[in-house]
Amino acid sequence: MSMFLETLIGGLLAGTMYSLVAIGFVLIYKASGVFNYAQGSILLFGALTFVSLTGQGVPAPVAIAITIALLVLMAIAIEKLLLRPLTNRSPMTLFMATLGLSYLIEAVAQGIMGSQVRALDLGIDDLPIFVGDIMISQFDLIAAGVALALGIGLSLLFNRTRIGIQLRGVADDTRAALSLGIDINRIWQIVWAVAGVVGLVAGLLWGARQGVQFSLSLVVLKALPVLIIGGFTSIAGAIVGGLVVGAGESLAETYLGPFLGGGITPWFAYALALVFLFIRPAGLFGERQIERV
Amino acid sequence: MSEIDLRIAAPVNGSAALRAAGLAAGTILILAAPLLASEYWINAIIVPFLILSLAGLGLNLLTGYAGQLSLGAGAFMMVGAYATFSLQLRVPDLPLPLALIVSGLIAASVGLAFGIPSTRIKGFYLIVSTLAAQFFFEWLFLKFPWFYDGNSSATISLPRGLTVFGLNAETPHGRYYLTLGAVALLTLLSFNLVRSQTGRNWMAIRDMDTAAAVIGVPVTRAKLQAFAISSFILGVSGALWAFAYLGSASVQSFGLSRSYQILFIIIIGGLGTIRGAYLGAAFVSLLPLALDWLFQHLFSGHVDAGLLQNIQKGIFGLLIMWFLVKEPEGLARLLGIRLAARRRLFPSSQN
């Protein structure tokens, strides 16, 4: 029983790391209807910039400030050069454009800052904590706390502030929002910048775990099933989806893996997502699309 | 409208003889190409270009015509390659061309299975199904030695080499004609298919599946057909990629980056066009060579390989975005001004 609990809790905590990545997606999808494949590369870009700066002797808070400034600039550039010309195009076109964007960001990040693995030390000791006889990783616990705090903070931003309400307006009905005088381009810039910062947080935590390197951008593929299960439009869904995927992966690897020869994590999350889709085609918290002909 | 009618009617009738002559000249050129090109060109450029075109064609039927976005092209190619290997190894009596067809059918049934979710979900949610295929088969073909016959390097290569009905096709010319034959046949098939009821059903679904269902298009059946036929072509192209081009292949030959490459081919070439697959494949296979050549001449080898790779990647990314912003119909549109006039007559083939 304690082994089951340990696997479950370990999985749930790892799942919050997936949630962190997924939240960045949800923000952008909610506000601009873009499925942003480049979120993974933005995450890599943020973490890589931070590591390079601290490697040059820049103190960490300054490095964070510079990285955030760069992410904001990037958000503005993306909105001006890519999103604005593509307004009113099909969601598929926008998705493929972000695929191209991810190639560009990865190439620039790696071309300038190199592609070797860099260690990232956030000063969090990864010591196991024992609750009864169940072992919990301290690092995972802190990461989970960060994910939760971000989730709550962003929900407040969406529900309580002026910008958040404008944002929801844009997400709900772009044309109505425009006619009410909401500056939709400004909203997009803000959302992409916020998603970039969320990506930076996720990138730092993931980077501290597995080193900062190219494979960091592949966490986007981990976040996809999370989004599917939680629904594209819900931050709460992203968190719950992350927990489901994390727990499911870890339990499957322990209990199902031995029968299948192990190593099933890469595809298990996708299989799980497909099962969820058959039951709820718009995810657990997603909004059901109503189509008109 | 009458103005357009005149413009269309005149050249088609007037240049029928010219067109036939052009077609004949083109055919002779294609058949005689191996005599003109060096061995290096055939092995390293023409054969992979043809196979990539075929793969692009397969994906274009699914994504460009039927509108079902797939990120798992590599998976279906992988199935085709491993199926051909197994058939050649375990059913030695089956000649290679038949083995290719059977492998295509196996890939088609796999495609059908992973296409089933498309009957219930659509759009981005569908990416999950094709990505599931991608990761599942990468795992499957690496995990179980049966699939690569317990080979210590986990690679597959044909046990008796490339033989077509007893003839050795291992030479550059043999590879070329084998590939060309498969590509020509499947292109012809696709060409007719997209002009048939099936193709029109696909385009109706792509443009709006709810509306298509309302006017009586059998949406479920047409979607599954698209998955099966697309996977058949991808499977054959995967087998050719493994054995006519690479010689020996592994799971890495058909990884996620291959899937993206095929998707980029059809975006750059033109979604929902047959010629787009060829133009895109030519672009994708020639651009790296051109960049290599350019950097060799500009910096004579001072640029290190890693940086060059990143520059290539960046340029690809930029081009994708540029095409989507400026020319969403890709190279096919840029080069096909005559086709554009004809399109106005048949708006159904317009995206």
Taking 80 as the threshold, does the pLDDT of residue A286 lie above it? no
* Partner B contacted by A97 (CB < 8 A): yes
Taking 70 as the threshold, does the pLDDT of residue B343 lie above it? no
Indicate yes or no: CB of A270 within 8 angstroms of CB of B311.
no
pLDDT tens readout for residues B122-148: 777 788 889 999 999 999 999 888 999
Q: How far is B64 from chain A (nearest CA, A)?
A: 11
Let me know whether B136 and B7 are in one domain.
no
Let me know whether B245 and B327 are in one domain.
yes
* Partner B contacted by A88 (CB < 8 A): no
Helix A138-160 / helix A235-251 crossing angle, nearest 10 deg: 160
Task: Give the pLDDT of residue B342.
Answer: 57
Tokens for B119, please give them: 């009957």
| pTM for this predicted structure | 0.86
Q: How far is B67 from chain A (nearest CA, A)?
A: 9
We report the CATH number of the domain holding residue B146 as 1.10.3470
Residue A172 belongs to some domain of the structure? yes
DSSP string, B276-340: HHHHHHHHHHHHHHHHHHHHHHHHTT-S-HHHHHHHHHHHHHHHHHHHHHH-TTHHHHHH-HHHH
Task: Give the pLDDT of residue B305.
Answer: 74
Residue A40 belongs to some domain of the structure? yes
Let me know whether B176 and B288 are in one domain.
yes
DSSP string, B129-143: HHHHHHHHHHHHHHH
Let me know whether B344 and B229 are in one domain.
yes
Let me know whether B296 and B270 are in one domain.
yes
Percent of chain B with pLDDT over 90: 46
Question: What mean pLDDT comes out for the span A140-150?
Answer: 86
Q: Residue A234 in contact with residue A75, Cβ under 8 Å?
A: no
Task: Give the pLDDT of residue A210.
Answer: 80
Residue A32 belongs to some domain of the structure? yes
Which range of residues forms the domain containing residue B22?
1-36
Question: What mean pLDDT comes out for the span B301-329?
Answer: 82
**pLDDT-derived band of residue B4, with 50, 70 and 90 as boundaries?**
very low
Taking 50 as the threshold, does the pLDDT of residue A29 lie above it? yes
Taking 90 as the threshold, does the pLDDT of residue B12 lie above it? no
Residue A9 belongs to some domain of the structure? no
Let me know whether B182 and B82 are in one domain.
yes
Q: Residue B277 in contact with residue B286, Cβ under 8 Å?
A: no
Determine which helix (DSSP H) or strand (DSSP E) holds A145, and give its type and residue range: helix A138-160
Task: Give the pLDDT of residue B15.
Answer: 59
Let me know whether B29 and B174 are in one domain.
no
Determine which helix (DSSP H) or strand (DSSP E) holds A130, and give its type and residue range: strand A128-131
Distance CA A14, CA B28 (A): 61
Distance CA A53, CA A64 (A): 9
Residue A244 belongs to some domain of the structure? no
Q: How far is B116 from chain A (nearest CA, A)?
A: 10
Half-sphere exposure in the Cβ direction for A186 (13 Å, CA)? 8
A216-235 residues touching B, CB cutoff 8 A: 221, 224-225, 228, 232
Distance CA B168, CA B125 (A): 46
DSSP string, A69-119: HHHHHHHHHHIIIIITTTTT--HHHHHHHHHHHHHHHHHHHHHHH-SS-B-
Which range of residues forms the domain containing residue A203?
19-217
CA-nearest residue of chain A to B122? Answer: A281
Indicate yes or no: CB of A111 within 8 angstroms of CB of B123.
no
Taking 50 as the threshold, does the pLDDT of residue B8 lie above it? no
From chain A, the residues in CB contact with B139 under 8 A are: 263-264, 266-267
Q: How far is A123 from chain B (nearest CA, A)?
A: 32
Among the residue ranges A206-210, B7-11, B84-88, B294-298, the one predicted with the least confidence is B7-11
Question: What mean pLDDT comes out for the span A54-62?
Answer: 89
Indicate yes or no: CB of B67 within 8 angstroms of CB of A97.
no
**pLDDT-derived band of residue B1, with 50, 70 and 90 as boundaries?**
very low
Q: Which residue has the higher pLDDT, B150 or B79?
A: B79
CA-nearest residue of chain B to A116? Answer: B306
DSSP string, B147-212: GGTT-TT--EE-TT-SEETTEE--SHHHHHHHHHHHHHHHHHHHHHHHTSHHHHHHHHHHH-HHHH
Radius of gyration of chain B (CA): 21
**pLDDT-derived band of residue B350, with 50, 70 and 90 as boundaries?**
very low
Q: Work out how many domains chain B is built from and give that number.
A: 2
DSSP state of A288: P
Tokens for A19, please give them: 């949630």
pLDDT tens readout for residues A233-277: 888 888 899 999 999 988 988 888 788 877 788 788 898 888 888
From chain A, the residues in CB contact with B311 under 8 A are: 107, 111
Let me know whether B13 and B44 are in one domain.
no
ipTM of the complex: 0.84
Indicate yes or no: CB of A274 within 8 angstroms of CB of B328.
no
Task: Give the pLDDT of residue B217.
Answer: 92
Q: How far is A156 from chain B (nearest CA, A)?
A: 28
* Partner B contacted by A107 (CB < 8 A): yes
* Partner B contacted by A284 (CB < 8 A): no
CA B321, B325, B327, B329 torsion-angle sign: positive
Taking 60 as the threshold, does the pLDDT of residue B349 lie above it? no
Indicate yes or no: CB of A97 within 8 angstroms of CB of B325.
yes
Taking 80 as the threshold, does the pLDDT of residue B344 lie above it? no
Question: What mean pLDDT comes out for the span B243-265?
Answer: 92
Let me know whether B3 and B85 are in one domain.
no
Taking 50 as the threshold, does the pLDDT of residue B14 lie above it? no
Taking 60 as the threshold, does the pLDDT of residue B255 lie above it? yes
* Partner B contacted by A276 (CB < 8 A): no
Residue A3 belongs to some domain of the structure? no
Taking 50 as the threshold, does the pLDDT of residue A21 lie above it? yes
Taking 90 as the threshold, does the pLDDT of residue B242 lie above it? yes
Of A86, A224, A267, the CB nearest to B127: A224
Let me know whether B8 and B54 are in one domain.
no
From chain B, the residues in CB contact with A287 under 8 A are: none
Q: Residue B51 in contact with residue B249, Cβ under 8 Å?
A: no
Q: How high is the mean pLDDT of chain B?
A: 85
pLDDT tens readout for residues B160-208: 777 777 677 778 888 888 999 999 999 999 999 999 999 999 999 998 8
Let me know whether B45 and B17 are in one domain.
no
Indicate yes or no: CB of B317 within 8 angstroms of CB of A102.
yes
Let me know whether B220 and B286 are in one domain.
yes
Residue A273 belongs to some domain of the structure? no
